[in-house]
């Protein structure tokens, strides 16, 4: 009986304890080159363009334990996925100078896995 009571108390705590929510990101506009790509993030939606533009949902967001940055976003679309790593550090590229966020995207181009690097700013 003690084990069942323990389980019930634990389950009640899980149900009544508020989840620690990841702080929402502001809308972001990101871009990179070699190859050219772009990413916009707004709420739980993202638009990622490498060879063609695709709409993605963002089912999961995480950040480093006890820190706000870096952040990771999991992007999912029909038959496509990507992991976005964002770090709040000054970023420059061939097309961008001094954006406040650096981005790395792990995805695939056709069947070839690739890592893309670029920069993000707060979208207006």
pLDDT of residue 23: 63
In a domain, 31, yes or no: yes
Residue 2 lies in a domain: no
pTM of the model: 0.76
**Structural domain count of the chain:** 1
> Residue 20 has which token pair?
């620690």
Please write the tens of the pLDDT for every residue from 70-88.
Answer: 999 999 998 889 999 999 9
Give the separation between CA 45 and CA 47, rounded to whole angstroms: 7
Confidence (pLDDT) at 109: 78
Residues contacting 77, CB < 8 A, separation 6+: 48, 54, 55, 56, 57
In a domain, 36, yes or no: yes
Give the per-residue pLDDT at 22: 57
Residue stretches of the chain with pLDDT short of 50? 1-21
**10 in a domain, yes or no?**
no
Q: Write the DSSP string, 61-119.
A: EEE-TTSS-SEEEEEEETTEEEEEEEE-S-B--SS-S-BSEEEEEEEEETTEEEEEEEE
Beta bridge pairs of residue 63: 71
């Amino acid at each position: 009986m003690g084990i069942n009571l323990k389980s019930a108390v634990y389950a009640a705590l899980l149900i009544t304890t508020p989840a620690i929510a990841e702080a929402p990101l502001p809308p972001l506009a990101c871009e990179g080159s070699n190859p050219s790509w772009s990413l916009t993030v707004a709420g739980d939606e993202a638009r990622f363009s490498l060879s063609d533009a695709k709409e993605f949902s963002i089912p999961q967001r995480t950040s480093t334990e006890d820190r706000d940055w870096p952040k990771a976003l999991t992007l999912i679309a029909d038959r496509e996925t990507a992991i976005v790593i964002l770090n709040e550090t000054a970023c420059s590229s061939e097309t961008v100078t001094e954006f406040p966020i650096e981005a790395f995207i792990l995805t695939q181009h056709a069947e070839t896995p690739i890592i893309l690097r670029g920069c993000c700013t707060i979208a207006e």
